[in-house]
């Protein structure tokens, strides 16, 4: 009889190859049918979360907009908007479902980099958990000089900052 292996709450109903396989699902966003390939460890790996849907419903986009999806996991924001603006090359719009535990240092880098990579008049659209709305308002205002709350649900807040 070999040594006992400790059990650390490891999922035993799936094999390692099953756990490593892509999580594939379809979603319809802004009248676009999309197929996503995700994996464990990404936020909302099996379906589009409410915050992403909230933000997508409140982004103004024209077909020739240049869009960047910043730190959005498997890309539901950027991929949907890329279908709406297929000629985009650089950045009129940056979108992000900002990670709740990003930390103030990375948030500062994140916002300043977004600002630096936007064309004048370009917009940074973000969605965060509603508990961070005042924090994001303060920091977005510090970097962009403005903040506009687009929509707030019980759980999420969508907002935008415009580069002057």
User: What tens digit of pLDDT does each residue of 64-73 get?
Assistant: 888 877 776 7
User: Model confidence over 84-122: pLDDT tens digits?
Assistant: 887 776 689 999 988 878 788 888 888 998 998 899 999
Rounded average pLDDT over 148-158: 95
* pLDDT, position 11: 59
Domains located in the chain, CATH noted: 49-162 (3.40.50.150)
* Of residues 6 and 45, more confidently modeled: 45
* pLDDT, position 35: 94
- The two three-digit tokens of residue 96, written as one number: 């992000």
* pLDDT, position 99: 81
CA angle 25–49–141, rounded 5-degree value: 135
* pLDDT, position 1: 52
Q: Are 84 and 32 in contact (CB under 8 A)?
A: yes
Q: Which residue has the tokens 């709305």?
A: 133
CA-to-CA separations, 35 to 21, 24, 42, 121, in angstroms, rounded: 15, 7, 16, 32
Q: Which residue has the tokens 């948030």?
A: 107
* pLDDT, position 5: 53
């Amino acid at each position: 009889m070999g040594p006992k292996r400790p059990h650390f709450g490891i999922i035993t109903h799936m094999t390692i190859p099953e756990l490593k396989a892509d999580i594939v699902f379809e979603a319809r966003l802004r009248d676009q049918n999309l197929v996503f390939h995700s994996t464990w460890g990404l936020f909302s790996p099996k379906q589009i979360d409410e915050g992403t849907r909230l933000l997508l419903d409140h982004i103004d986009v024209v077909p020739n907009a240049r869009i960047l999806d910043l730190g959005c996991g498997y890309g539901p924001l950027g991929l949907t908007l890329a279908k709406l603006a297929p000629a985009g090359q650089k950045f009129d719009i940056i979108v992000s479902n900002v990670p709740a535990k990003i930390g103030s240092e990375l948030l500062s880098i994140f916002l300043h980099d977004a600002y630096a990579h936007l064309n004048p008049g370009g917009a940074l659209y973000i969605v965060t958990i509603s508990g961070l709305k005042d924090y994001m308002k303060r920091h977005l205002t510090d970097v962009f000089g403005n903040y506009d709350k687009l929509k707030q649900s019980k759980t999420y807040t969508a907002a935008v900052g415009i580069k002057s």
